Amino acid sequence: MRKFRTFTTALRTMLTVGLLVTLALPAHAIDARKLHRDLLPVKATVSAPSGASGLCRQYAWACARTGRVTTIDAAALAIVQKVNQRANQKVRPVSDQRQWSIAEKWSLPTNRGGDCEDFAIYKKKMLIEAGFSPDQLLIATVLDRQNRSHAVLVLRTGTQDLVLDNLTGRIKPWRDTGYTFLRLQDPRQPNRWVAVFAGGIMDRLS
């Protein structure tokens, strides 16, 4: 726990003062200068995904709305990349059925690990503690390239929606994932969920 607090404190400091000298982006990282406007379409309000109905009661920060906007520049993206890589390396994948003996339970990872939703919740918490606005960190449910249920964290830059995924260390624009986006925390009120139905098989059907 002490190491985690030290890590998040250091990230918060770097975000505030913009010191990114030691956080060199890998070659595949997103270049902030090349971002163009491409946001997930937000449609009608829908029910929360299975297992997520108690998320806001358990973690108020996971559904917080502050009205504050974090500037997502190259410095911020370097921090996001660092958090994504650290979480993917730190948390061991384990299903809810194996860990909790139920099909779906959204929570922070335990010492045993967590599933895809837990990775997304954990990354959201780490980035909020590093100084990012929770308004721009939204959990999404998707179908992966094999049409299996999956969840990711979406970072809204203001020009693009970027995806933090426990299945890859690469942070990609949502269209580049090949995923079919189904539901997203409502950007206007994150304690609610909205339909998306975009990307993946929806693109192939259009």
- Mind listing the pLDDT tens digit for each residue in 160-205? 999 999 999 999 999 999 999 999 999 999 999 999 999 998 877 7
CA distance 200 to 169: 20
**For 5-64, how does the pLDDT look when each residue is reduced to its tens digit (9 = 90+)?**
554 555 554 444 343 333 333 434 444 444 446 999 999 999 999 889 899 999 999 999
Rounded Cα gap, residues 42 and 135, in angstroms: 15
Query: 56 Cβ partners below 8 Å, 6+ apart?
Result: 62, 63, 191
Residue 37 has a pLDDT of 65
Domains and CATH numbers, the chain: 2-12+42-205 (3.10.620)
